[in-house]
Structure 1
Amino acid sequence: MNFKQRLTLKFILQLAVAGLVVLIIAAVTVSWMFKRFNEINIARDFTSAGLPQLVQSSQLGKDGIRFAPSLLEQVKKNKGWLQSLDENGVVESAYHTPADVPMRYGTGELVAYWTGTKPFPYHLALWIQEKDGRLFTLVYGVPNQLEPLLNEISKATIPTAEGKLKLPDSIAGKTKVAKAFVQLINSEGVELASYNKPNAVPSKYTVQELALRTMYAQQYGYHIVSSYDEQTGRTWLIGEPIPGGGNSSKATLIPEETQVVIVGSAVMIAVVLVLFMLLSLWQAHRFGAPMLHMLVWLDSIGKAVYKEPVDRNGLHRSRTPTGKWRRRYRVFSDVMVSIEKLSAALQRDQTMREQTESLREEWIAGVTHDLKTPLSSITGYAHLLAEPAYAWSQEEVHKFSTKMLDKSAHMDMLISDLAMTYRLKTGILPPETMEIELNAWLHEALQQAAADPVYGNNRIVFHAAPIDVITKLYTPWLERIVNNLTANSLLHNPPETVLTVSVLAREGSSGITIQFADDGGGMDELTLNRLFERYYRGTDTVSTSNGSGLGMAISKGLIEAMGGQISVETTPGEGTVISLIWR
């Protein structure tokens, strides 16, 4: 299996696992939503939603019938009670049943209580269902104190002119014990009078709002019972707080089911986002680490280090101590083998280049040796011509000897330059440096350079730094650099070219820059790119020593050997700026 196939298979498997986990999260979320819907239905209408589940969850044991604890807890929250009857109306099991509730019902007695034909202090609900061959009869009751209290209030209460209801002391006591409130509204739903009304209860109702508050009491926080008087068109309202009910001051028309969907969806999205973040981190560890290792390896190759990077223990990250691929590197094995081959090839090329460079340097050393042999002959011949025993005229003798001495000096300079380039290539270090004040030293060096009649007059301008610049440099090298750059600017530009030399330094900064700026003809891109190559300009033995073709290469090498760097900016027809920078 090749690299592409292995990588494709890895991603397919990971996406499949991630998709499966997302489906599981979605299934858990939907299951939770249905469970909450069921709980909301039970809390909202225990008669039709809770009683059937009581039968479904019932278990018949030695101790009698046992129901689900959560459903029995809901009965208690509703301030209700529960009984299970046999076929003869005898209570088999009971839960939270008050003392005033019978433990046995006659044939017609239970129906009379249920239909309201016989007074009973509780609202009753019946549920009869067969399960496992047994007929279950459940009786569920909740206190019925609001309706009787409302009947008493509507008959004995008189509204006052101040919009208050004046209740008899006995009725007012019952109302306060029940923590209830009373309202009287007209046919338009506007409140005429009230008693003990909380601030959260409105003073005006629409048809829809009164219906919603009656239907969704749990959501609004109050259970409301109303009585409509056909003769006056007025409606009496009585309400009591529901423990754990919603905040009626911020009543909402959004059903609880919708809230459950919103919460469930938000939680599912959050969990999926966390899952994908963790998956991304795992992917970064699984695939990112090998890729980063390969990038570091390639970067090392770019720096001429042709070995695979190792960890702090000196071991290859991609392999085990036995030499096998580590698990997360296996998928990239083909790529890493190719990098290994590339490293080996580049290592061979580097070795060959080093051998070639060694041979070239040896050749240069041979050339310098060969050049010194004729130099000795020329020097001896020049001294012979200078002897008065020969029949040369004084003018001829002087002329020939001067030329031969000049050529010998030029050859000697060439040999010295070749030797210097070789030493710079091998990493020469400057001798012991000396501390100088750069402004004064450079001004004196430029005056000596300007004294050369070849340059002409007034062609060098010096600008010192505004502060004393104390630094440590090897002055013989620096003097040679100054001479080389001065010659390069004044000899290879028009005669009217002016060279401006400036020292740039600031108070509190350790950086120093010496800038050589001329207003000559500048250089084209080709010349700029090859400016520091040895022998690029080329010359013959007629040229002066300043034109040997090695000056700029030597200057660059000396600058770098003293810990600095050189930069060049030039524009054809406008001039050139060469900067010597020490940071």
Structure 2
Amino acid sequence: MNIKRRLTLRFILQLAAVGGLVLVIAGTAIYWMLLQYAEISLTRDFATVGLESLVETSRITPEGLAEFDPELLKQVEASGGWLQSLDESGRVVASYHVPEDVPDAYDPGQLVAYWNGSADFPYRTYLWIREKDGVMLTLLYGVPDTASRLLKTAVLAGPEAEGEKLMLPAKLEQSLEQAGASLLLLDRTGVVRAAFGSRIQAPERFSPQELALQTRYPERYGFDASLHYNEENGQTLVLRVPLDRAAQPGEQPLIPEEARIVLTGAGIVLAAMLILFGLLAVWNARNFGLPMIHMLSWLEALGSGRYDEPEGRRGQPRSRRPSGGWRSGYRVYADVLQSLSALSLTLKRNDEERARTEAIREEWIAGVTHDLKTPLSSVSGFSHMLAAEQYDWSADEVRSFATIMVEKTAYMDRLVSDLSLTSQLKSGARPPASEPVELNAFLKNAVKQAASHPRFDNSDVRFVPALQPVTIETYTPWLQRIVDNLTANALLHNPPGTSLTVSLQEDGSTGRGDPARVVIRFEDNGSGMDEEVAARLFDRYFKGTDTDSPSEGSGLGMAITKGLVEAMNGTITVETAKGRGTVIKLFFA
């Protein structure tokens, strides 16, 4: 998988994970808000919501009794009420937070009278009847009916208005003040003529709708309202008792409880998302930013000639674990890091090779300079000797001096020719002309000519021809030069008495899967070469002997040989080992 696919997959998985977490956070916040709304509903209207929840969550025991949720039972006390569970005969089988003045058994008529308010009972009651698992559940829930009780007392007292104030008996006033209640007197048109207590959220004139809403929805206005209408004079008494004594009657909070829940839930979601995206940003910076900075630092180091990967505090490459595996975050850039590693290795090798080539070149220049100066000094010396007037040389001496000068100038000419030829081959020179050549006869003469050098008198050189005539198109001067160089290399760089066998074969193979019609094999039984020397055998300027050697030791012979073979569309290989001799093969198609 390439880096593009890995990055794409990584970001898709990342977005999916973040999206999933956001959904989980949002779902959790919504669930929390629903629970809060349910709790508000239970607190404000336990008579309907709470009783239904009690029945839904109840469990019927084998004895036929109902077990209720303890958390919901706590809401009974929180709402200021009490709860009884009745059997079919009206007896109380279970109760919770019940005052002492509440009976523990009810006659059928008594229960209904208390429920519909036709009998005097200091509590407002709510009845919930439902069958569950074959058992008839009857729940009776009651809350103190302070407003109705105080209103009945006020009606019996017959309050009178003096100006805008209602005159009430002292005992009634004390009861109203203890309950935090207020009493309003309205005329036929709904105008407030007199009042006792707070007039918060009490308009100067009540419309029928306003009066109905305040008595029907006490939680909306913050107080429980009860009224008594006098048909004789058309006046209406309205008594209001605060639902929450901690707040003033009718006083509304700055932010409604429902809005507070929504804002809290939204705030939790927003804070969680900010934390999530902050952590994601830090994670991305660590897993994507740091590797990129590391790679940029590596490239900068490469530009400065430092080829090793930048290391961390412990001396290990920052992208690698001590075990050698990729670190987290770097794995996605594995392709790039491997390419940088390969580039670093290549640049390092090139730099080392350049330094080595430069050293070889300097060494070769010194050797070539020495090789040129040595014969040149001989030519110059003999020239001065011949030109000196104080000497009278004989004809034999002059001929001897001239012979040496000819040899030295011929050596310099060959050296200059080698330099020119190797430069031409490097530039892609091709053979001037090719002609059909029968190799058995040609190689026999070429090997004989190459082995006729006086320095090879103690060597054994022989040629083994092919079984049948072999004819190819070739340029004979270059092929002769190849034979000369390979013969000289085998005999000059091995101990005296080394034997060389040159053989011609047909239908060979290069060893690389490419067929070859002709193979010329040079095999000696000399001392062989180690791997380092064999690897550099065909390098230009590589010289295995000292600079006092003749042209065969100039450091260009084997490089010229390889260039000539390849220029004639051939291939050259070497097989050697220390102490086992050397085999050089030429392949021509």
TM-score range, shorter chain: 0.5 to 0.7
Return the alpha-carbon distance in structure 2 between the equivalents of residues 134 and 218 of structure 1: 34
CA drift of 1:33 comes to: 2.5
- In the TM superposition, residue 110 of structure 1 has moved relative to its aligned partner by 0.9
Distance 1:250 1:147, change over 3 A: closer
| Contact 2:298 2:309 (C-alpha < 8 Å) held by counterparts | yes
1:259 Cα deviation from its structure 2 partner: 4.5
For 1:52, the equivalent position in structure 2 comes to 52
Equivalences for residues 188-199 of structure 1 within 5 A: 191-197=192-198
- Tell me the distance in 1 between the aligned counterparts of 2:349 and 2:46: 87
The DSSP-based 3-state class of the residue aligned with 1:171 is helix
| Alpha-carbon distance in 1 for matches of 2:261, 2:10 | 38
Q: What amino acid sits opposite 1:96 in the alignment?
A: H
Match of 1:101 in 2: 102
What SS does the aligned partner of 2:36 have?
helix
Q: Which residue of 1 aligns with 2:159?
A: 157
Distance 1:14 1:181, change over 3 A: same
Contact 1:222 1:245 in 2 (8 A): no
Q: How far 1:318 sits from its partner (Å)?
A: 0.6
Instruction: Kindly provide the amino acid, as one letter, of the partner of residue 314 in structure 1.
Output: G
Q: Which residue of 2 aligns with 1:184?
A: 185
Give ranges in structure 1 of 5+ residues lacking alignment. 363-583
Matches within 5 A, 1:141-540: 141-154=142-155, 155-161=157-163, 163-186=164-187, 191-197=192-198, 200-202=200-202, 204=204, 207=207, 213-218=214-219, 220-229=221-230, 234-243=235-244, 251=252, 256-347=257-348
Native 8 Å contact 1:221 1:245 kept in 2 = no
Please name the residue that 1:71 is paired with.
72
Tell me the TM-score normalized by structure 1: 0.55
**2:180/2:245 contact within 8 Å kept:** no
User: Do the aligned partners of 1:219 and 1:246 also contact (CA within 8 Å) in 2?
Assistant: no
Q: Structure 1's 349 and 233: CA in aligned 2 closer, same or farther, altered over 3 A? A: farther
Letter in 1 for 2:43: A
Indicate the residue corresponding to 1:458 in structure 2.
none
Q: Cα–Cα, structure 1 residues 250 and 128, in superposed 2: closer, same or farther, change >3 Å?
A: closer
Greater CA deviation, 322-331 or 118-127?
322-331
Asked if structure 2 preserves the Cα contact closer than 8 Å seen for 1:50 and 1:71, the reply is yes
Query: Which amino acid in structure 1 is aligned with residue 337 of structure 2?
Result: M
How has the CA–CA distance of structure 1 residues 224 and 357 changed in structure 2, closer, same or farther, with 3 Å as cutoff?
farther
The amino acid across from 1:160 in the alignment is: E
Whichever residue aligns with residue 11 of structure 1, its letter is: F
SS of alignment partner, residue 306 of structure 2? coil
Give, in angstroms, the shift of residue 221 of structure 1: 3.5
After superposition, give the CA deviation of every residue in 1:186-243 in whole Å (9 maximum; x if it has no partner): 5666543322327x55454664665555455345433232334456554432222323
Post-superposition Cα deviations, 1:263-314, rounded to whole Å, max 9, x if no partner, equal 3233223322322222222222222221221122223334443321111221
The structure-2 alpha-carbon separation of the partners of 1:232 and 1:124, relative to structure 1 and needing over 3 Å to count, comes to same
Q: CA deviation at 1:258?
A: 4.9
Matches of 1:299 and 1:184 in 2, distance apart? 92
What is the CA–CA distance in structure 2 between the aligned matches of 1:253 and 1:186, rounded to whole Å?
Answer: 33
Contact 2:198 2:249 in 1 (8 A): no
Counterpart of 2:142 in 1: which secondary structure? strand
Task: Give 2:552's aligned residue.
Answer: none
Q: Distance in 1 between matches of 2:4 and 2:245?
A: 61
Does the CA contact (< 8 Å) of 2:60 and 2:133 recur in 1?
Answer: no
Asked if the contact 2:146–2:241 (Cα under 8 Å) also holds between the matched residues in 1, the reply is: no
Q: Whole-Å Cα distance in 2 between the matches of residues 350 and 210 of structure 1?
A: 99
Do the aligned residues in 1 keep the contact of 2:85 with 2:139 (CA within 8 Å)?
A: yes
Following TM superposition, by how much is the alpha carbon of 1:185 offset from its aligned partner in structure 2, in angstroms? 4.2
Q: What is the alpha-carbon distance in structure 2 between the residues aligned to residue 186 and residue 305 of structure 1? A: 101
- What is the alpha-carbon distance in structure 2 between the residues aligned to residue 133 and residue 249 of structure 1? 45
1:41-68 CA distances to partner (integer Å, 9 max, x unpaired)?
A: 2222222211111112223447954322
Q: Distance in 2 between matches of 1:19 and 1:246?
A: 44
CA shift in 2, pair 1:204/1:32, >3 Å: farther
Tell me the secondary structure at the aligned position of residue 194 of structure 1: strand
Report the CA distance between 1:84 and its aligned residue: 0.8
**1:136-194 Cα deviation digits (max 9, x unpaired):** 01111111221131133245212222x22221012112212323222334566654332
CA radius of gyration, larger in: 2
Distance 1:90 1:250, change over 3 A: closer
Corresponding residue SS for 2:185 = strand
Residues in 2 aligned to 1:83 and 1:102: alpha-carbon distance in whole angstroms:
10
Tell me if structure 1 keeps the 8 A contact 2:287–2:328.
no
What do residues 350-380 of structure 1 show as CA deviations (whole Å, max 9, x unaligned)? 5678789999999xxxxxxxxxxxxxxxxxx
Displacement of 1:332 in angstroms is: 0.4
**Aligned mates of 1:8, 1:74 — CA distance in 2:** 53
Deviation per CA, 1:232-258: give whole Å up to 9, x if none. Answer: 554432222323777767637987545
CA distance in 2, matches of 1:247, 1:356: 100
Match of 2:34 in 1: 34
CA contact (8 A) 2:219 2:243 kept: yes
Match of 1:134 in 2: 135
Rounded to whole Å, the distance in 2 between the matches of 1:92 and 1:263 is: 42
Deviation at 1:127, TM superposition (A): 0.6
- Are the equivalent residues in 1 in contact too, given 2:44–2:79 (CA < 8 A)? no
Q: Is 1:19 the counterpart of 2:19 in the alignment?
A: yes
Whether contact under 8 Å (2:83, 2:98) holds in the other structure is: yes
Cα offsets for 1:362-419 (capped at 9, x unmatched)? 9xxxxxxxxxxxxxxxxxxxxxxxxxxxxxxxxxxxxxxxxxxxxxxxxxxxxxxxxx
Q: Give, as a single letter, the amino acid of the residue that structure 2 aligns with 1:153.
A: A
* Matched residue count: 362
SS of equivalent residue, structure 1 residue 53: helix
Report the CA distance shift for 1:158/1:290 in structure 2 as closer, same or farther (over 3 A). Answer: same
The answer on whether the counterparts of 1:220 and 1:245 sit within 8 Å (CA) in structure 2 is no
Q: Is the 8 A contact 1:226 1:238 kept in 2?
A: yes
Do the aligned residues in 2 keep the contact of 1:219 with 1:251 (CA within 8 Å)? no
Shift of 1:28: 1.8
- 2-side partners of 1:44 and 1:314: how far apart? 69
Contact 2:242 2:249 in 1 (8 A): no
Residues 84 and 92, structure 1, Cα contact 8 Å, conserved in 2:
yes
Q: For residues 353 and 171 of structure 1, what CA distance do their matches in structure 2 show?
A: 114
Q: Could you tell me how far 1:130 is from its partner in structure 2?
A: 0.7
Higher mean Cα deviation, 119-128 or 180-189?
Answer: 180-189
Aligned in 2, Cα 1:230/1:15: closer, same or farther, shift over 3 Å? Answer: farther
Query: CA 1:240 to 1:302, structure 2 compared with 1: closer, same or farther past 3 Å?
Result: farther
For residues 8 and 220 of structure 2, the distance between their equivalents in structure 1, rounded to whole angstroms, comes to 53
Q: Matches of 2:348 and 2:328 in 1, distance apart? A: 28
Partner amino acid, structure 1, of 2:25: I
Determine if contact 2:76/2:82 at 8 Å carries over to the other structure: yes
- In structure 2, the CA distance between the partners of 1:239 and 1:107, relative to structure 1 (3 Å rule), is same
Seen in structure 2, the aligned counterparts of structure 1 residues 90 and 254 have a Cα distance that, compared at 3 Å, is same
1:333 maps to a residue whose letter is A
Structure 2: tracts of 5 or more residues without a match: 364-589
CA distance in 2, matches of 1:71, 1:159: 46
The 1:311–1:73 alpha-carbon spacing in structure 2 relative to 1, beyond 3 Å, is: same
Which shows bigger deviation, 292-301 or 233-242? 233-242
What CA distance in whole angstroms lies between the structure 2 residues aligned with 1:130 and 1:253?
Answer: 43
**In 2: Cα distance, 1:254 partner to 1:189 partner:** 31
